[in-house]
Structure formats: structure tokens, C-alpha cells
Chain A
Amino acid sequence: MTVPHPILVGPARGPVAMFSLIAAESAIFTIFVVAYIFYIGKSQTGPQPKDVLEAPIFYTLCLLSSSLTIHLAVKGLRKGRSRDFGIWWCATIVLGATFLFGTLSEWNRLIYRDGLTISTNLFGTTYYSLVGLHGFHVIVGLILLTAVMAFALSGNIRQQHAERLDVLSLYWHFVDTVWVVVFTVVYVIGR
């Protein structure tokens, strides 16, 4: 009697690990978001969010559109169009860096014009922690994106690397998605 052998082709380990990492990161962000929401309006001294925060619409659009550009970049590479890849990858880095500049200029304004630091009041503590945690992830993403760019310029990124860059782009999508949550909590609900 012959029994069919079900030959198992497991999922690729890169995306599985990245999704696991994203789950862990989501749990970390959840705790910070819960803390932010719980402490809304509990600051005993100023400045309060409604006095100093302005929604960074332009920079938000930059970050969100970088999700599209990284998708187009990896799609280009998968089809072997390395020129497309280079252009869209560069665009992703520029958009991410613009977003980071937006965060930094907002912090600069808050610190030097409004006198809000992480130790000023509860709002400062939760705001800088949550936005800073996200900014930290943007910085990590930008370092990785730039490293890939360096590899590409030295001619070391080829078509077969598309799967690996897919894993990196998953991370970048996650960073963008978290910003949607942070934006909603900080600039919509929190104000």
C-alpha cells in the first residue's frame, strides 16, 4: 500500500520572523499608547497639548507615501528593473528623512519656544516617549535603507535579493502604520 507523502514546503523564514518581531514591537507600542491615552489631561502644569501641538500633515503624507515608494522599488527589483529600484529606493530614503526632519523641527520648536521637555509635565513625558519611540524606529529604518542603498551603488543588489528586501519593506510598512496610530492618538484624540 502506498501512502502519499505530503512534502511540506514551509513558509519563508524571513517574513515569519519579521511578523513575529512586528508583533513584539506592536506590544511595546501598545503599552506606550495606553499610557499616553490614560495620562491625557492629567498634567498638573502647562503647557497642554492644545496650546502647543499642531498636526504635521505634510510630514505625515511624506511618511505614508514612502510606503508606496518602497513597494514600487522592490517591485521594480523583482522584475529586474534596477533603475526603477534605485529611483524609488532613493525616494523612500528622502521621504523618511523629511519626516524625521519634521519631527526634529517640531521638537526644536516645543523645547525652545514652548519650554516643553520630557521632564516638564506628564504630557511632555508621554509625548516625547511615544513620538521618540516611533522616531527611533524611523532612524533604524533609515540606517537599514541607506545600507541597502550603499550595497546597490556598489552593484551588490541583484534580482534575487528582492525577497530579502521584502522583509525590510515589511518593517518599513510597520513603521508607517504605527505612525497612523501615533498621529491619531497624539494629534487627534490627545488634543
Chain B
Amino acid sequence: MSTESIAWRAPQAAARPLVDKLHEWVTTVDHKRLGILYITYALFFLIIGGIEATVLRIQLIRPHNHFVPPQVFNRMFTMHGTTMIFFVAMPVLFGFANYLVPLMIGARDMAFPRLNAFSFWMTAFGGLLLYFSLLGANGLYGAGNAPDVGWFAYAPLTSLAFSPGHSTDYWTLSLLVSGFGSIGTAINIIATILCMRCPGMTLEKMPLLAWLNLVMAGLVILAVSPLTAAQIMLLIDRYLGGHFFDTQAGGSAVMWMHFFWVFGHPEVYVLVIPAFAFASEIIPVFSRKAIFGYPVMVAATICIGFIGMSVWAHHMFTVGMSSSANTFFVLSTMAIAVPTGIKIFNWLATMWGGQIDFKTPMLFCVAFLFQFLIAGLTGIMLGSAPFDWQLGNSYFVVAHFHYVIVGGILFTLFGAFYYWFPKMSGRMYNEKLGRLHFWLFIIGFHLTFDFMHIPGILGMPRRIYTYEPGRGWDVWNLIVTIGVVFQAAGVLVFIGNLLWSYFRGELAGSDPWDAWTLEWSTSSPPPAYNFGSIPTVRSRRPLWDLKHPDDPDWKYE
């Protein structure tokens, strides 16, 4: 077990020209720098995607509004969905995995550092390609620029007849390219976790974050590849005159739905499992207790991974499948509530009887527990086929999945930002601003997404550009849009806090939280080589063993 790092400072660190520093960042293969690149890149797109969401909500604030024309509205919700999933959520989670996994398993880098850099730049190029459509997609047709086919791009909307110009091509190529990046990163994470662990760190002694990211990487491999295949088919249809999704020639639009959701639903678990990972690291540290039921947590995650691969068609109940298919997908969807419930009870049991310290990361995780539970409950409602026939494609669905993605994933992600910011930057964030961010965001979140369920139940379909007054939707849409103001203010406070603390925050030291995993044993920020000498571990909480030699964990595990 080693805590020292070799003190070494580049002699003219401050005097180097900016070009040199940028060159270092562009050519880096260091997992920590690539992690920060991923995270910064995702934050940039978070702001863009957030602006797009704001445009959508301003347009819907009252009936018959004319803030943007219908064509622009279609582009906005397509770009918002695509951006948030592929260029915010996935990169930011890959960024944290990149940064934390090698540190937590006591390795000096990922298994394939150059593949790591390649994957990042592929993802970055994919995002640029998507937004280059604003300039490049017009072509000679005058047929609109940004993609406008919705984030799941159902056939036949994507066929040449209905989507002339190149907007859909930019959409499909950007997802294809970033998909290669995702698969590369997933391969890298798996190889790192299986092959690069430090002496003593057997699979059952790994931090839960590493375990959960292993499952996440496996899901990426099995879920993103079908999307890649489907995008290749779409390109064949559009460029080579193929007929995969061309119903005129015997092709099937429903096949696209299956192929997309075979990716689309496991994707939800790709995003939520790392969020579980953050909660599983943060909750024990701020409850001052070891995680409750470690083996069960691992088993439940693997279980979610398996069941998550077999629930995709619950997105398609309203399409009209056979009753046996409906029954299967209802039952598998219900089954996934079991391992998820086990996890929630384990986090609660971890907090039970602990000395809970409600610092900002913990606040976000506690809110996550409540909100994720509600998201799961509306998920059970939508997972019952008859109920889904009533509410499918309504604002109830939009409210449900934003409850998962914002209320579940984004909340733990904010918690993770505050928790690991001292490690990444070497400085503490401002606790007051952190709390302000939390309260602004939780008020905004509940104003927006609690009340969004109601117009859905009252029959408001998703993706409509405007609506008539007097349907009972008006006041709810107004409240939903007001919530956006609070959320936007919260995010601004968050960005401001990060920037201010990066330059002015007090020094954090190597272990500000009195935590137990290996990343806190090295300096903040960690040196390029991570550990002065490779640590050896004996239990799941190596730093606890180090701090309490009289009562180490390995006696009990």
C-alpha cells in the first residue's frame, strides 16, 4: 500500500506557451486527461442541449405560441434528444469511467491508452458532425438543415422520399462514428478491469464502481453494435438504393423499430448503471458505513444487465405486436423491478444507522433515491401494455424518461462532480454554491417533470409543435416551462462553482472525504503515473485498512 507520490515539478511549468499546453491536451493518451476531455466535451454539449430544451419549452409555454416555426421545433427536439444521449450522457459517463477506473483498481493507465485517445476523438468528431449539419446539410434541395426525424428516427421518415437533403445522413453518420468510439472505450474498460488490477484486488474486492462499469461496458458492446448495424442498413437504403426499411418493396418499418430499441433500451441501463456506481461510492462514504450487501449489489447489477437486454419492445406496445410478444415484454419489464428494488433497499440499508453527513454529493444522491423510485413506478405503469396503449407517445412518457435521466442519472452525476472535483482539480468546491445549485435544481426539476405527467394523462401527445387552448393543458405547460428557469439557474451556479473553485477554491489535500478507495491514496490531482509504487490491497476498503491498522476490514471479509 503506497501513498507517496514522487514530488516533481516541470521547471518552467508556468512559462510554457499556450500552444504547447494545447498540443499536450490534443496528443494526450493519459486516462485522466482523456477523462477530463470527455467530461468537458459533455458539459459543452449539455449547455447546447439545454438551450435546445429551453427553446422547446418556450414554444410550448402557451397555446398557439409562435416562438419558432414547426420545422425548427422538429429539429430542436431531434437535436436535443440525440445530443443529450450520445454527446452528453455517454461521454460524461465514459469520462468518469476513464478517470476513476484505473485509479480505483490501482493501475497506472487504461489497458490501451492509444485506443482510449482514438475513442475520444471519434466521439468528439461524431458530435461535430451532428452540428455541422446546420451548415452542411442544406445541399441543393433547400430541404432544411439539422436532422428533424426524432431521436429514434422511425422509418419511413428517414427514407429519401421523406427526408431529402443530407440532414438524416449527418444524423446517421454522427451516430455511426461516435458508436465506434463507444465500442472502443467499452473494450478498453473491460480489458482494463479484467487485466490491470493491482495485486490483491480480486474481483470480489473491487470497488463497486469498477464492477458496475464492467457491466456497463458489456452492455455497450451488446447494445451499441446493433445500432451500428442499423445505421449501416439505413445508409445502404439511402445511398445504394437498398430496401431494408422500404415498405413499398417488401421491407419493414417495424424492423427499424426493433433494431433501434434493441439498442435503445439497454442504452438506458448503460446510462443508469454508472449512475448507480456513483451512488454506491458516495452513499457509504457520507454515511460512514461500508456498502450494505456488496455481493448482492454486484449480482443485481449483472441481473439488470441481462434482463435489460430483453425488454426493448416495451417501447413498441402501441405499434401493434402479437399478444404473446406483448405478454413477454410486459413480464420481462416487470422482472427488472426486482434487482433494481434490491439496489434501492441496499442503499437505504447502507444509510440506516449511519452518521449521515449531508454534504452536496450526498444531497444529490438522496434526491436520486426518491426520484429514481418514482421514475421506476411510472415505468411499471408504462410497462403494462394496456396502460401503455392509453399513455404511449404522450407527455406522460416524456415525463417518465426525463425522471429517469434527469432525476436519476443527472442527479447522481452532479453528486459525482462534487465528490470527485477535489480529486480532479486539487481544490474544494464551494459548499454554499453547491447547496444553492442543489435546491435550485431540485425545485426546477420537480416543477418541470412532476407536472409534465399531468398533460400526458390529459392526452397531450409528445412532439407536437403547438396546441389549442381549453384542453386543460395550458396551466400545466406554463408550470413546466417555469421549472426550466430554476434548472437553468442551477446549472449556471454549478458551472460558476466549478470555474471559481478551479482557480480560487481552497486546496483539498489527497483525501478530503476520509474515503476508502484507492484514488484517495494519491495526491490531488494525481500525478501522471497515478501511484508512486503499485499498491497492494487486502479488502474492499484499502484506505480504511491503512487508517485503522488495529481493526482492518480484511479480518471480516
A binding-site residues for B, Cβ under 8 Å? 3, 5-8, 10-13, 16-17, 20-21, 23-32, 35, 38-39, 42-44, 118-119, 121-122, 125-126, 129, 133
Contact = CB atoms under 8 A, between A and B. Distances in A.
Contacts of B538: 3, 5
Contact of B196 (A10, A21, A23, A42): A10
A31 B229 contact: yes
Query: Closest 9 interchain pairs by CB?
Result: A119-B241, A27-B225, A31-B229, A125-B242, A10-B195, A13-B195, A42-B250, A20-B187, A13-B111
A38 B240 CA distance: 21
Given A39-B251, A44-B250, A28 B199 contact: no
Given A118-B241, A122-B249, A5 B190 contact: no
B112 A31 contact: no
A30 B222 CA distance: 10
B430 interface: no
A180 to B, nearest CB: 19
A11 B228 CA distance: 29
A28 B218 CA distance: 14
Contact of A129 (B195, B218, B242, B251): B242
B251 A122 contact: yes
Query: In this complex, which of B241, B249, B259 has the most chain A Cβ atoms within 10 angstroms of its Cβ?
Result: B249
Given A17-B190, A122-B251, A28 B554 contact: no
Contacts of B191: 13, 16-17, 20
B349 interface: no
B244 A5 contact: no
Contact of A122 (B111, B195, B250): B250
Nearest to B262: A31
A5 B187 contact: no
Nearest to B188: A17
11 contacts: A3-B538, A5-B536, A8-B198, A8-B202, A27-B225, A31-B259, A39-B244, A42-B250, A119-B241, A125-B251, A126-B244
A48 to B, nearest CB: 12
B342 interface: no
B225 A10 contact: no
B225 A39 contact: no
A17 B250 contact: no
Contacts of A24: 183, 186-187, 221-222, 224-225
B111 A39 contact: no
Contacts of B221: 20, 23-24, 27
Contact of B226 (A13, A28, A119): A28
B195 A125 contact: no
A11 B203 CA distance: 13
B200 A8 contact: yes
Nearest to B222: A27
B504 to A, nearest CB: 41
Contact of A38 (B186, B237, B252): B252
Nearest to B221: A24
Interface residues of B, number: 47
A20 B186 contact: yes
A16 to B, nearest CB: 5
Contacts of B241: 118-119
A12 B228 CA distance: 28
A122 B244 CA distance: 7
A141 to B, nearest CB: 18
B410 interface: no
A103 to B, nearest CB: 18
Contacts of A11: 194-195
Among A23, A31, A35, A119, the one with the most B-chain Cβ atoms within 10 Å of its Cβ is A31
Given A16-B191, A20-B217, 4 more contacts: A16-B111, A17-B190, A20-B221, A125-B243
A21 B187 CA distance: 7
Given A8-B199, A32-B229, A118-B240, A13 B112 contact: yes
Contact of A12 (B112, B195, B249): B195
A44 B249 contact: yes
B226 A27 contact: yes
A13 B199 contact: no
A115 to B, nearest CB: 14
Contacts of B187: 17, 20-21, 24
Nearest to B182: A24
B138 to A, nearest CB: 26
A148 to B, nearest CB: 19
B200 A5 contact: yes
B197 interface: yes
B255 interface: yes
A24 B185 CA distance: 12
B218 to A, nearest CB: 8
A119 B249 CA distance: 10
A119 B186 CA distance: 35
A5 B535 CA distance: 12
Contact of A121 (B186, B188, B243, B554): B243
B230 interface: yes
A26 B183 CA distance: 13
Contacts of B190: 16-17, 20
B201 interface: yes
B116 to A, nearest CB: 12
Contacts of B528: none
Contacts of A38: 252, 255
B244 A35 contact: yes
Contacts of B554: 3
Contacts of A43: 249-250
